[in-house]
Amino acid sequence: MLLAAFVFFSVNTVYFVEAPPTELQAAEDKSCHFDFSKVRAKTPHLNLRSALLVNYSNGEVLYAKDPDSPRPIASITKLVTAMVVLDDGVKLDTTETITRDDARQSSRSRLRVGTRLTVRDLLCAALMNSDNRAARALARVTSGTIEEFVRAMNLKARQLGLKKTEFFDPTGLDERNVSTAHEVAKLLHYAYDYPLIAQITSTARHRCRALNRKNAWIQIANTNQLIRSKYKVLTGKTGYIRESDYCLTTLVQNAKGERLTCVVLGVPGDRLRFREARRLVEWGFRQV
């Protein structure tokens, strides 16, 4: 029996969805699909393990390198962390204090133990500066425990149809947090449908105040260096741990209004990931 097809519209993205026989299945199987039939034969040579470049307007994949092999995604994880927080409906002016447990393996954080911030500012720290302490605090204020929050993250991944994406912590420090270039691109599209995530991740700098410290202002800078390029960054997230090497997923727009979704995973260098992403994006805009 042939399955009917219909189009599901969200705020920013059009998703093509198959309609199985029952309404329950339709709700469970909703997912975004990309068209791999238009991958270009002549593509740039890039120094990375896995990558994908998608024309955001129609879902056509222009470039793909090992797109379906699971790899550690490091702090790209925090896109799902933010989605789970927002799905839960936690009020943005709710406050949470950074604890010693939050500070584990997070020595570079600007958030000192004892600092009290709003959920909005914790989201900015987690998404812009990739702050691990902020991600753990968000998990606690949302679910009570890290374990419960991680369960919600994996449920979210299943709801989005991400079959090769799995999480073990909300920060990305755990190398078992894995996905594929293909599913990371989908994940970015879904994250972009959250206006606050889009707003935060497209902002270069944010200044917030520690609520329990007099005149204690914290400066947060976006780690996505493409935000300082000639392209307009609409959303994105960086990631790095030793097991993942350097990673980036971002949605960029050129002066003509054309938009490309770029994913680069396993790049052997911090600056190199942005150079390779720019090369891929510049090549891609010549293809659309």
Q: Give the pLDDT confidence of 213-263 residue by residue, as tens digits.
A: 887 899 999 999 999 999 999 999 999 999 999 999 999 999 999 999 999
Q: Give the pLDDT confidence of 22-74 residue by residue, as tens digits.
A: 333 333 444 689 999 999 999 999 999 999 999 999 999 999 999 999 999 99
Whether 186 sits among the annotated catalytic residues: the reply is no
Catalytic residue from among 130, 179, 202, 244 = 130
What residues are paired with 179 via a beta bridge? 71
Question: What does pLDDT average to over the chain?
Answer: 91
Per-domain boundaries in the chain: 1-30, 32-285
Cα 194 from Cα 87, distance rounded (Å): 10
* pTM, 2 dp: 0.90
The answer to whether the CB of 115 falls within 8 A of the CB of 93 is: no
* Contacts (Cβ under 8 Å, ≥6 apart) of 42: none
| The predicted structure's pLDDT at residue 31 | 64
Cα 234 from Cα 253, distance rounded (Å): 7
Cα 235 from Cα 253, distance rounded (Å): 10
Cα 221 from Cα 244, distance rounded (Å): 22
Which of the four pLDDT bands, split at 50, 70 and 90, describes residue 12? low
- Per-residue HEC secondary structure of the chain comes to CCCEEEEEECCCCEEEEEECCCHHHHHHHCCCCCEHHHCCCCCCCCCCCEEEEEECCCCEEEEEECCCCCEECHHHHHHHHHHHHHHHCCCCCCEEECCCCCCCCCCCCCCCCCCEEEHHHHHHHHHHCCCHHHHHHHHHHHHCCHHHHHHHHHHHHHHCCCCCCECCCCCCCCCCCEECHHHHHHHHHHHHCCHHHHHHHCCCEEEEECCCCCCCEEEEECCCHHHHCCCEEEEEEEEEECCCEEEEEEEEECCCCCEEEEEEEEECCHHHHHHHHHHHHHHHHCCC
Whether 69 sits among the annotated catalytic residues: the reply is no
Catalytic residue from among 65, 78, 156, 237 = 78
Catalytic residue from among 75, 106, 109, 202 = 75
Q: Give the pLDDT confidence of 250-261 residue by residue, as tens digits.
A: 999 999 999 999
Which of the four pLDDT bands, split at 50, 70 and 90, describes residue 112? very high
CATH topology of domain 32-285: Beta-lactamase (3.40.710)
CB-count burial class (<10 Å; 0-12, 13-18, 19+) for 286: exposed
Whether 75 sits among the annotated catalytic residues: the reply is yes
Residue 3 has pLDDT above 50, yes or no: no
